[in-house]
Amino acid sequence: MKNYTIVMISIILIVFSFFNFKKKYFTSKDLKVFYANTFHPNIKFTSDTLNVGNILNKESKIAGYFSFINSGRGELLIQSVNPACGCTAVEWTKNPIAHNMTGIVKFSIDTKEIDTGAFEKKIVINTNGYFGKKIISIIGIFHKK
């Protein structure tokens, strides 16, 4: 029984060592992030939004990519990548992504489908990670020539 108590105290100390002690309390979000990164794959993007700036030529396409890392444990699988509109085509890393390895989501937007002015295109990514779904955005301003 004494060994069991020592083991439990050790586990509790290890768990709390992962948190920021400058906070006066731990939120449920802290615990979810800790749980997700400790026991499950977790997709983490360098940036959730990509600003493509001013687009001047209506006949061109906008192309780019988002990079991400599996910051959790276990292999990350991207199950589907769904653009919010038909003008956006996507490709993504289809192989399992190991812990601390990277992948990409490439996109191409047909500017013939974009109206003049500011735009935002969203892409929904479904994974086997703890949080399951992630939304990334492409923003910019379109000007007719």
Q: Which residues contact 95 (CB under 8 A, 6 or more apart)?
A: none
The overall pTM is greater than 0.95: no
The answer on 104 and 69 residing in a single domain is yes
For residue 126, give both structure tokens: 């479904």
Calpha distance 41→32 (Å, rounded): 13
What is the average per-residue pLDDT within 61-76?
91
74, 42 Cβ separation under 8 angstroms: no
The answer on 122 and 107 residing in a single domain is yes
SS3 76: strand
- Report how many domains make up the chain: 2
Across the chain, which distance is largest between two alpha carbons, in Å?
A: 78
Question: pLDDT per residue over 88-123, tens digit each?
Answer: 999 999 999 999 999 999 999 988 878 888 999 999
Tell me the one-letter amino acid at 119: F
Mean pLDDT of the chain: 84
| Confidence category of residue 8, pLDDT binned at 50, 70, 90 | confident
| Confidence category of residue 142, pLDDT binned at 50, 70, 90 | confident
| Entry field: residues in the chain | 145
**Domain range for residue 6?**
2-19+27-39
Question: pLDDT per residue over 34-64, tens digit each?
Answer: 665 567 898 999 999 999 998 887 667 889 9
The answer on 97 and 70 residing in a single domain is yes
Backbone angles phi, psi at 30, to 5 degrees: -55, -45
What order do you get walking across the sheet with 49-55 strand by strand?
Answer: 49-55, 133-142, 117-127, 78-83
The answer on 118 and 60 residing in a single domain is yes
